[in-house]
Amino acid sequence: MADDPILSVRDLHVSFRTKRGLARVVRGLDYDLHAGETLAIVGESGSGKSVSTLAMTKLIPMPPGQVSGEVWLGDDDLVPLSEKHLLHYRGRRIGYVFQDPMTSLNPVHPIGRQLTEGMRYHLELSDEEIRERAIDLLQKVGIPSPEKRLDDYPHQFSGGMRQRVVIAIGLSCDPEVLVADEATTALDVTTQAQIVELIGRLQDELGMGVIWITHDLGVVAGIADRVLVMYAGQVVEAADVDALYARPRHPYTVGLMRSLPVLGDLERRDLASIPGLPPSPTALPEGCAFHPRCAFRDDDRCATEAPPLRDIGDGHLIRSFYEVPEEIAQEAAAEARIEIEPPDADDVGDAAAEVGSRSGRGGET
Ligand SMILES: Nc1ncnc2c1ncn2[C@@H]1O[C@H](COP(=O)(O)OP(=O)(O)OP(=O)(O)O)[C@@H](O)[C@H]1O
Ligand SMILES: [Mg+2]
């Protein structure tokens, strides 16, 4: 993409002061996001995916959190901005679909009130216009009879429908960037496909850049343009989606692909998962952060020297001294059987119609 990025993150660091010392949870993150582009951030639990995006608008407790680096949204660097100034960006220019839909909706307020809160703060619209916009947003995210649902409380919606409301809130102020943090993780496969299709369609309509966070490499294959694989607060591999799924080259990415469960082969996860655990952010190992778990490590160098992120061709970046050999990488990719095609819109359309008709009969509400 030739045009200027809408978001540029440069050397972003996030740490927390804890009783056990400084937890360095994001350690020098760099990426660009263009209008209409989907960037996926994948990695195991605790790798810093959520914190790296929350920290952009300081949605982390500060202190104990601290943020450094640059986060350019258009011509503005958000990192030096005060809380007061950040209020103009948070939810307005960067929309968030927070990781946990149960905590991102307040159980004691009707969803209409929660959906319009940001709009009332950020947009200069009359009450009537805000109501119309709320109805339109609920319609867009596939909630049947939206005008009747504004006064309903979160518990009156199914998990899938609640997640749609949370997405509507993320979209409510027409953000340039939408952060969708595990937006489909808690949902069944059909609803998951619908939400993926929905965000893709809204992105085409509204031209947003989307940061799609997930621990599941399979989910993003069909929707991302570029993928960042994070480990212990750093990018260990980054590539355009086709290259990453066809030829993963970092030992960690290959390990992640091998640990994907395959239908009909339930024992595989145990057989092939990555041994050991990620390091604690307060006690990171010397050298390469992944070396204690790496099947390809060269003990001397990997245990003492931190590998830089290097370009192995066409913007495919890896942070390793070692490139997994092409044959092994391709084998892991083939075994993972990840489809790079986007979800079939017809299937999703049929499924959505089904959900619609079921909800008409009081099914999914
Ligand atoms: N307020 C905090 N104080 C101290 N440490 C924190 C705080 N918030 C997050 N962390 C730590 O930051 C690290 C990264 O957390 P983050 O939530 O970004 O992980 P994640 O990659 O999103 O994981 P998951 O897949 O489980 O959502 C973790 O080690 C977490 O314990
Ligand atoms: Mg997270």
Which DSSP string do the residues of 110-130 spell out, in sequence order?
Answer: -HHHHHHHHHHHHS---HHHH
Question: Mind listing the pLDDT tens digit for each residue in 149-190?
Answer: 999 999 999 888 998 999 999 999 999 999 999 988 777 788
Tokens of 120: 């009332």
Opening angle at CA 180, ends 174 and 184, nearest 5? 125
Q: Domain 7-223 has what CATH class?
A: alpha beta
Which residue carries 């660097």 as its tokens? 77
Dist. CA 308–CA 311, nearest whole Å: 10
Structural domain spans, the chain:
7-223, 234-336
- pTM listed for this prediction: 0.89
Report the residue among 24, 25, 44 best suited for mutation to probe ligand 1: largest number of ligand atoms under 8 A from its CB. Answer: 25
At 271 the pLDDT is 41
- Bridge pairing between strands 76-77 and 65-73: antiparallel
Does the CB atom of residue 106 touch ligand 1 within 6 A?
no
pLDDT tens column, 49-64: 999 999 999 999 999 9
Supply the DSSP symbol for 342. P
Phi/psi at 186 (5° precision):
-85, 5
> Does the pLDDT of residue 30 top 60, yes or no?
yes
Which tokens in the block code for residue 159?
């998990």
CA distance 286 to 232: 13
Say how many Å lie between the CA of residue 46 and the centre of ligand 2: 7
Q: Is 231's C-beta closer than 6 angstroms to any atom of ligand 1?
A: no
- What tokens does 327 get? 């044959």
Per the rule left: phi > 0, alpha: psi between -120 and 50, beta: everything else, 237 is beta
> Does the C-beta of 23 come closer than 6 Å to ligand 1?
yes
Residue nearest atom 9 of ligand 1, based on CA coordinates: 51
- Give the DSSP H/E element, type plus range, for residue 230: strand 226-231
Cα separation values, 204 from 6, 201, 210, Å: 15, 5, 11
Cβ contact 229:253 at 8 Å: yes
Which residue is it, tokens 């109805």?
Answer: 135
Q: How confident is the model at residue 353 (pLDDT cuts 50, 70, 90)?
A: very low
pLDDT at position 267 is: 47
Residues 229 and 237: beta-carbon distance below 8 Å: yes
**Ligand 1 within 6 A of CB of 247:** no
Nearest CA to ligand 1 atom 31: 46
Average pLDDT over residues 120-135: 95
Instruction: Label residue 252 left, alpha or beta by phi (over 0 means left) and psi (-120 to 50 means alpha).
Output: alpha
Rounded to 5°, the CA angle 222-351-154 comes to 95
Output the DSSP codes for 41-87: EE-STTSSHHHHHHGGGT-S-TTTEEEEEEEEETTEE-TT--HHHHT
Q: What's the CA-to-centroid distance between 146 and ligand 2, angstroms?
A: 30
CA 24 to chain centre: 20
Instruction: Out of 132-141, 178-187, 272-281, give the one with best mean pLDDT.
Output: 132-141
* Residue 241 in contact with ligand 1 by CB distance below 6 A: no
What average pLDDT score do residues 120-128 get? Answer: 94
Residue nearest atom 24 of ligand 1, based on CA coordinates: 45
Cβ 50 under 6 angstroms from ligand 1: yes
Percent of the chain with pLDDT over 70: 87
Residue 45 alpha carbon to ligand 2 centre in Å: 7
